Amino acid sequence: MKTINLEQLKRLNFINENAAMPASGTILGVDDLPTKVSIMLEGKVLEIIPAFTDYNMEQPKKKEKLMEQSDAGKRLDVIFHFATPQTFWEEGYTLFDRNGNEIPKDTPNVFPVCDTADSYWRIFSDLVLTNVQIHEFESVQEYAQTIGNSMLLSRGLNNVEKVGYAALATGNDAYKAVFEFAKRNNVPMNTAQLYLDLQLRPLTTALMMLGKEPKTVPTLGRTPEEAQELFEQATLTFSKGGARSRYIPRVLNRLLNIQKYEYGFLMEGLRTIPANEIAMGELQRCADKEYCIMETLSAWLTDLKREQPKKAA
C-alpha cells in the first residue's frame, strides 16, 4: 500500500479536474441520494464519487434524518481513506455508488471507500472532507487486509456507554441512574432499565448524546435505592447470574405493576421463599423460564398472603 499525492492521481488519470462530473441520474442510475462529495486534497477542493463494492459496510438511508441533527462544529477531525479504483476493475470487482447503481469502468474521479469506524457516516455528512488520504493497493486482497487490521482495533460505544454519554451531554437524572446501576452491578443496559422500571428508546438516546433533550423525558419507575435493594435480594434469592438476566426483573415488574403487590411484601416473599422452591437449576430446565419463575413466585406470594391473618391473630 502506498499513499498517492494529487500530482500522481492526475498523471494516472484517476482525477480529471476538467472532466464534467456526470449527473447521477444519467450515468449512474436513479439519483436517490447525492452521490458526489467535496474533498480537500493538498489545498485544492475536488469533487469525487465515493465507490463501494458488495463487501463494504452498508450505507443505510434511514440514518439521514438523525445525521441532520448532528452539530458539525462538535465533531473531532478524522482521516477519510479512499483507494484508487483501477485495481478493483482489473480484478473484476464491480463498483457502485451509494445508491447501489453500477459505476462504469474508467469513470474519472471515482474512489472506493476504505471503511473505518470514524469516517463511516461522515463521508456524506461533512460538507467538505478536509483530511483525505488516497491509497494505491497492489491487490484487492491487500485492501481488505488493511481494513481488517485497522478495524480490528476499532469499536463503537456499547449500549451502557451510550447511556452514560447521553447522561453527560444532557444532565438527565434517569439516564445517569441507568448508567450507574449498570456499571455498579455489571449488568446489561436492558437489565438496568428493568430494575429501575423505565424504558429508554435508542433514538432518544442517540439524540441526547448530541445534547438534545427530548420533549418526553423518561422517568424512573422506582428509586435507585429500591432498584439496588431489589437486585441484591434477587441475587440472594436466585443467583447472581439469574439476577443479571432479563427474566427475573421482568417477573418482579409484573408482580409489582400488574398484580399490584406492594414493594415491601414482595421483598418479604423474596427473602422467605424456600430454596428448594426457587432452585435455579430446576428453573433453567423449564422451557419458558419467565413463566416458570412467575408461577413459582406467584404461588409463594399467595401462600404468604394467606398466612398473614394467622400471624396477626
| pLDDT tens figures, 24-37 | 444 444 456 889 99
Q: Identify the three-state secondary structure at position 133.
A: strand
Q: Which residue has the cell 438511508?
A: 61
Strand (E) positions, 164-272? none
d(CA 113, CA 54): 12
d(CA 238, CA 246): 13
CA–chain centroid gap for 170, Å, is 19
Q: What is the pLDDT of residue 64?
A: 67
213 or 88, higher pLDDT = 88
- Given a cut of 90, whether residue 164 has pLDDT beyond it is yes
**Phi and psi at residue 46, to the nearest 5°:** -125, 155
- Helix, strand, coil shares of the chain, percent, nearest 5, are 50, 10, 40
Q: Which three cell numbers stand for residue 135?
A: 491509497
Nearest of 201, 200, 197 to residue 221 by alpha carbon: 197
Residue 138: what residue type?
A: E
Residue 282's pLDDT band (boundaries 50, 70, 90)?
A: low
Q: What is the dihedral of CA 4, 10, 12, 15, to 10 degrees?
A: 90
- Given a cut of 60, whether residue 121 has pLDDT beyond it is yes
- Given a cut of 70, whether residue 20 has pLDDT beyond it is no
- Given a cut of 80, whether residue 155 has pLDDT beyond it is yes
Residue 110's pLDDT band (boundaries 50, 70, 90)?
A: very high
d(CA 233, CA 269): 10
Number of Cβ within 10 Å of residue 50's Cβ equals 22
d(CA 84, CA 140): 11
The average confidence (pLDDT) of the chain is 89
Mean pLDDT of the 217-234 span: 96
- Given a cut of 80, whether residue 67 has pLDDT beyond it is no
Q: Which three cell numbers stand for residue 56?
A: 463494504
